[in-house]
Amino acid sequence: MDIKDLLIKDAMIMDLQATTKKAAIDEMVQKMYDAGRISTIDTYKEGILKREAQTSTGLGDGIAMPHAKNSAVKEATVLFAKSKNGVDYESLDGQPTYLFFMIAAPEGANDTHLQALAALSRLLIDPDFVAKLKAAETPDQVQATFDAAEKAKEAEEKAEDQAEEKIKDTNRRYIVAVTACPTGIAHTYMAEDALKKKAKEMGVDIKVETNGSEGIKHRLTDEDIARADGVIVAADKKVEMNRFNGKELVNRPVSDGIRKPEELINLALSGDAPVYHGNSEDTSANEEKSDNGTLGQRIYKDLMNGVSHMLPFVIGGGIMIALSFMIDQFMGVPQSELANLGNYNQIASWFNQIGGAAFGFMLPVLAGFIASSIADRPGLIAGFAAGALANAGGAGFLGALIGGFLAGYVIIFLKKLFKNLPKSLEGIKAILFYPFFGLMITGFLMLLVNVPMKAINDGLNGFLTGLSGSNAILLGALLGGMMAIDLGGPINKAAYVFGTATLASSVAQGGSIVMAAVMAGGMVPPLAIFVATRLFKNKFEKSQVDAGLTNIVMGLSFVTEGAIPFAAADPIRVIPSFVVGSALAGGLVGAVGIKLLAPHGGIFVVLLLSHPLLYLLFIAIGAIVSGVIYGLVKKPVVK
């Protein structure tokens, strides 16, 4: 099946009207549905958004390739869309996107479809081809451009295949590479072609293995690897790494293979690339630490790995516990049994037991996955044990956080310590040495850590339990404002993680004031966008006014990130406006002492608040204040 068979005229948009990423996706998905290529909009769009959440498919150089493979797709299709003015699609290079290729692959698509989709990715590396597409005015011209490019590409690949056998006879420098992306449809093959093209320009021989939806193609042999002067792994998913043991290896995201092929090739040949040391675990490319950002970035990544795995336990368990309180309140509890609220009636007790079981995993999971991010799978047992010891020893969230990092670096230390063991013992390191010594060392360290951390944790809990007056107002305002500063970034997440940590120790007291302030502050920015686009319509484009409507849903659902497109477009005016309203809402919540029993949910958990109507009023006040400030300082749209 050729690309032109997938690139049908009915699924082309020659003048895309959208100006934002969300609107562009909506317009293209609707066109895909209108052309009869998908059965349901929501299912297919969910796949598109899930892929975008991993990393933007805006590849840079004005090109985006959103793609999804799911049950909503009737026939494999490539939708072509062209924007005259460009769309802010959060591309890797930060530049506007003009050409879109939305790929729809049905579940169980055969290799023929996947080969055609991979071929599309390879064609887009050629700037002359891209220029011709930008100049095309009709669907017929688009198809003709692809037809001519495919024929030229086939001839070029035949020539490359014939030349590959001659590589062994040359004295030129030689490198090997592996490319892989989570879906294996687009980025994998674009990185392959970018590396091959740049290597050809530099006079370097290269062989690239692709780990895509088609499976592994051009697999590197032991002979290839042994002969190579360097190795490049451009991957965002697990690839086989132990075969590169002892080779100088450059390990980067697949996007760098597309955007920075020359940099990667030069580093692989420089002699300065880190030497990869394999072990008995099949380490994945994206977990290797040899070339993965600054120390601060790695610490943040490790922490977020623990937090992201912890949150489902906190959210699910916390809401179940909260429901047990509600059930008991609804069914009635004698005054003398109020201490057993949540456990008095049998139904409430069941909810409490289930929620408590999930909640009990919170600290072990946090520490376990921090350690796993640092030291791979061997870190799990030491990390889980550190979290459990922090929980049992009263060190709480802060103790588990420190324990996770301790466990991870203890395993790193053990890997270096056992690095030169005889090969006969290689197989038992991961199943015996790392678990036993990691657990023993981490466990004894945690017994020491728990002493000061318990004192700090008890003091913090005492402060939070007794929050009232100016202390509660200031803390609520601070955390509410933090939620609006970077809208889902490190500062926002720091406030949110602090809120969830206080929730664990405040369930028995009816909930956390801190968590209530955090959620209020996070709900304000999207709602402020709604207010501003309603009151100051003349200062916004039509697409922004429309986006304001979706922000009310996101705001009420506690999805702070809904305001990001507006903040990114004008941060100097938008961010301060948000911070004022969010801090006001958080401060008002703290002043009244409103408590929340759930760590997420927005209006869907409003009944789990101690004063639900006042809470909604304070959020509305914050949103109106932020919306009005934003509307007043924003410059009118130039027609």
Enzyme catalytic residues:
67, 181
Question: Given 3-state DSSP classes, what are the helix, strand and coil percentages for the chain, each rounded to the nearest 5?
Answer: 65, 10, 25
Residue 533 near residue 544, CB atoms below 8 Å: yes
Length of the chain: 639
Residue 379 near residue 402, CB atoms below 8 Å: no
Residue 111 near residue 214, CB atoms below 8 Å: yes
Closest CA to 156 of 134, 128, 187, 133: 128
For residue 429, give both structure tokens.
Answer: 């390191």
Output the CA–CA distances (angstroms, integers) from residue 573 to 520, 568, 632, in the order listed.
Answer: 21, 10, 10
Tally of CB atoms within 10 A around 271: 9
Report the alpha-carbon distance of residue 320 to residue 304 in Å, rounded: 24
Query: Residue 639: helix, strand or coil by DSSP?
Result: coil
Closest CA to 529 of 519, 543, 515, 516: 543
**Residue 610 dihedral angles phi and psi, to the nearest 5°:** -75, -30
HEC letters along 267-315: HHHHCCCCECCCCCCCCCHHHCCCCCCCHHHHHHHHHHHHHHHHHHHHH
Beta strands in 20-96 (DSSP E): 58-60, 63-64, 67-70, 77-87
Q: Would the CA dihedral through 40, 42, 45, 50 be positive or negative?
A: negative
Report the alpha-carbon distance of residue 426 to residue 241 in Å, rounded: 16
Phi-psi map region of 542: left, alpha, beta (phi>0 left; psi -120 to 50 alpha): alpha
Report the alpha-carbon distance of residue 36 to residue 32 in Å, rounded: 7
Report the alpha-carbon distance of residue 544 to residue 552 in Å, rounded: 13
Q: How many CA atoms lie within 13 A of 323 on its CB side?
A: 17
CB neighbour burial string for 561-592, b if at least 16 within 10 angstroms, e if fewer: ebbbbbbeeeeebbbebbbbbbbbbbbbbbbb
**Cα dihedral: 500, 504, 505, 510 (round 10):** 90
CB neighbour burial string for 137-148, b if at least 16 within 10 angstroms, e if fewer: eebeebbebbee
> Burial, 474: exposed, middle or buried (Cβ in 10 Å; 0-12, 13-18, 19+)?
middle
Tally of CB atoms within 10 A around 210: 23
